[in-house]
Structure 1
Amino acid sequence: MVFESGHPMMIALDIDGTLHVAEDTNPLAHKTISIAVRSAVRAAVRSGAHVVLCTGRLAPATRPFLLELDIMTGFAICSNGAVLIDAATGKIAEQVVFDLRTPIAALREQLPGAIFVAENPGIGVRATGRVDDADMHHGEVELVDIDELATTPTTRLAIHWPGRSGQELTEILSTLDLPGIRSLCYEDEPLADLTAAGVCKAAMLERLRIELGVAATRTLAVGDGINDLEMLDWAAHGVAMGHAPASVLAAADQICPPGAEDGLATALSTWFR
């Protein structure tokens, strides 16, 4: 795609599977970003474009990637669009919270043995148990019982259902009436993320685009997950990583090589050197 001035002015980049291909449970995943991808992202930053990392990770788990890539201005979007942080300080600039009492009451009956992990925005998580997940490797972890968990609003509630399948979790959540809640299920693993209704990466990106004064025709997004679908549609030009699921590939304007082949670097090299 040809952009005015030769390159996009707002670039939304997913983290896990896009910036790196390490397991997202790896607490040092930010250190595994390849030289080619580092160089490509830094070239985009030097151009004056607004580079916005957009992730399902909580804020403390996003900050290491900002530091690793020397992104010290602008903003990053965390928690699948529920949290906007200042890239320089990591402080929360905007957040969308929801009450946990109603969803917890419904979920605890339907999901025996599930572990619930609620974000404590900007600090860490409050959880009913431990899981091997990026949420647990960055920021504070406070273990609480489920009744106490339900008393505090959150920006994102992660549901882990050990020993079950992603399909089982998806099927149960699809039958529940959870007013004001958006459920995002990952069918390849027994994991779901709950946020307030209307929250997604694209919604926060659009608010930020308007604030930054960037034309909608000068936006680019690159991602690989189902939580990137709206983001790819939001952008004037959406790029899917070559290893992404079929639904994500179908939503993109362009498909780049997979992450293991530095696909992000290839995609960005079209506009940045």
Structure 2
Amino acid sequence: MSWRPRLVALDIDGTLTPVGSNDISPAVEAAITRATDHGAHVVLCTGRSLIGISEVAAKLPVSYAVCSNGAVWWDPALREVTKRVTFDPGPTIKTLQALLPNAVFAVEQTGVGNLSLGEFLPGDLWGTTTQVTFEEIAVPTSRLVMRWLDHTPAELSFALRELELPGVEWSVDHTEAWLTAVPLDVSKGSALDELSTQLGVTPADALAIGDGSNDVEMLRWAGLGVAMGQAPAHVQAVADEVAPTVLEDGAALVLNRYFPG
């Protein structure tokens, strides 16, 4: 095979692991290890916070981690955050509160956990969660998340169909009634574009695999963008190809084509 990616960008939830899990199958772990053995830069690209990737990243030989949909960069070799972009979540929270009664909110405290306005479901948030008031939650953050309690993803998407949120980039999850907001002009795609330049890799030399709305920019950016088999139709539509599902080790099957054992 003449083409082999020099950079491999991988979503976590729904791509490397079942959603919300830290369990990576042996086939996926082996495929990622072979990619690094062949000299590829493996970059985790996730909506998770930095603290939320710790268990997954510890299992894999990754070159870099782009967290919080591109707002926080982590260098495993240096064991430090090399970039962090923030925004004021206050106006976004107020807008969503008015539109979505029973919504709860959390802002990321990078490397620590979250400040929470309202009670999330068990397992929703990584790290230490501190309950606060609106005044205390409206502080600069890299990532704001919202869950609409007792509602479905379809209900949330319908409620937000005409929503405008100035000053942020936002996406809705397809498996939970969950919204993530990050600073304006920040995405997995924009982060990869900047990071790949630093690594001396062009988009044409990149493979990206993901399954969610927050992966669209990343899949469009990469020379080869692959959507997972369970991804929503609009995500599959922007991809160059569709892999088997996460339960079928779809990411490993794609990687095995370019990095055989």
Question: Counterparts of 1:245 and 1:217 in 2: how far apart (Å)?
Answer: 25
1:75 is matched with which residue? 64
1:62 match: secondary structure: helix
Q: Which 5+ residue runs of structure 2 have no aligned equivalent?
A: none
Mean CA deviation greater in 179-188 or 78-87: 179-188
Which residue of structure 1 aligns with residue 11 of structure 2?
14
Does the CA-based 8 Å contact 1:57-1:135 persist in structure 2?
A: no
2:137 matched to 1:149? yes
Among 105, 122, 133, which residue is 2:111 paired with?
122
Q: Deviations over 1:37-71 (max 9, x none)?
A: 11000000111111000011000111211111233
Q: Deviations along 1:198-249, whole A, 9 cap, x unmatched?
A: 1110000000011111122211101111111111110001111112111122
TM-score normalised by the chain length of structure 2:
0.92
1:246 maps to 233
Does the 8 A contact of 1:91 with 1:122 survive in 2? no
Q: Which amino acid in 2 is paired with 1:69? A: L
For 2:69, give the aligned amino acid. N
TM superposition shift of 1:174: 4.5
Partners of 1:173 and 1:183 within 8 A in 2: no
Q: Do the aligned residues in 2 keep the contact of 1:58 with 1:135 (CA within 8 Å)?
A: no
Per the alignment, residue 120 of structure 2 pairs with 131
Q: How many Å separate the matches in 2 of 1:231 and 1:192?
A: 18
Indicate the larger mover: 86-95 or 119-128: 86-95
CA drift of 1:170 comes to 3.2
**What's 2:77 paired with?**
88
Report the Cα distance in structure 2 between the residues aligned to 1:141 and 1:60, rounded to whole angstroms: 12
The code of the aligned residue for 2:43 comes to V
Report the secondary structure of 2:257's partner residue. coil
Q: Distance in 2 between matches of 1:255 and 1:133?
A: 32
Q: Aligned residue for 1:198?
A: 185
How far has the Cα of 1:105 moved from its partner? 2.7
Which residue in 2 is equivalent to 1:185? 172
**Residue 218 of structure 1 aligns with which residue?**
205
Structure 2 CA distance for partners of 1:270 and 1:250, relative to 1, 3 Å: same
Secondary structure, aligned partner of 1:270 = helix
Equivalent residue, structure 2, for 1:66: 57
CA change 1:108–1:205 in 2 (3 A) is: same
Aligned-residue offset at 1:177: 4.2
Determine the C-alpha separation between the residues in 2 that align with 1:218 and 1:177: 35
For 1:20 and 1:164, how far apart are their aligned partners in 2? 24
Measured after TM superposition, the shift of residue 164 of structure 1 is 2.4
Pair 1:107–1:97, CA change in 2 (3 A): same
| Aligned-residue offset at 1:256 | 1.6
- The two structures, once aligned, show a CA RMSD in angstroms of 1.9
Task: State the match for 2:47 in structure 1.
Answer: 56
Structure 1's unaligned 5+ residue stretches are: none
Between the aligned partners of 2:29 and 2:127, the Cα distance in structure 1 is: 24
